[in-house]
Amino acid sequence: MNDPRIETLKASNARGDFAASLIFQYEDRGRLSDKQWHWVVKLAADAAAPAPGPVAVGTFTGVFQLIERAAEHLRFPKIRLGFGGPSGIANDLVLKIAGPRSRYHGDILVTDGGPFGDNKFYGVITEDGEYAPGRDARADADVAAALVAKLTSLSEDPQAVASEYGRLTGNCCFCSRPLEDDRSTQVGYGPVCAKNFGLNWGVKSRNSEVGLGTICDNSDVDPEEQS
Ligand SMILES: [Zn+2]
């Protein structure tokens, strides 16, 4: 009869050479060191921990509508924000709807906007606002918490989150180009992106016309879809 700790490890989903080696050594020699027993218990416990389920971050209907409206004008509309750190925008945060080649087709992909294969993958959000944390959110509890906080505030008030980002960074929350006038900075995006995303922008005054401020361009080529 094996030690129950070994049986637990064998029955668990623990995979990999290390777990296999511990089991082999036990069955070969009939004993393990204290340190090895520590690992037997730890590997079994880690494997038994449930995969994180979806996290509710509020309804994302508004965000989906925003991106879908822009998709009438742009090939790859994105929302670019930040999250985490004292500023709340320490890390890049990019949202876009997954294309047909993605296994998340139709859901919002959450990444750092880096090129495919070299980006951070923070997870996916369904229109119901179910956020499934991706590998780079699951790897760090602080990152996950900051992401959930930012996504929740985005679902509650996309405009406010965009404005805050524009004010803090001076960059458009859709195309990331510099915002070059106060009206753009106040809302967090430039007039061209406002038009593309169907949002209000600025108030026309006698000496300025819409379109003379920030020149937005969201026509960049998309890196490949996150799988
Ligand atoms: Zn823009």
Q: Across the beta sheet with 79-83, what order do the strands follow?
A: 55-56, 130-133, 121-125, 108-111, 91-97, 79-83
Count, in order, helices (H) and strands (E) of the chain: 9, 6
Residue 128 alpha carbon to ligand 1 centre in Å: 27
Q: Quick one: pLDDT at residue 223?
A: 46
- Tokens 């119901």 locate to 128
| CA-closest candidate to residue 159, choices 214, 79, 95, 90 | 79
Residue 156 alpha carbon to ligand 1 centre in Å: 22
| CA-closest candidate to residue 96, choices 64, 122, 69, 51 | 64
Q: Quick one: pLDDT at residue 226?
A: 36
pTM metric for this prediction:
0.70
Indicate the range of 1-5, 82-86, 132-136, 191-195 predicted with least confidence.
Answer: 1-5
Chain segment 114-160, per-residue pLDDT in tens: 987 789 999 999 988 999 999 899 888 899 999 999 999 999 998 89
219 pLDDT more than 90: no
Residue 112 alpha carbon to ligand 1 centre in Å: 17
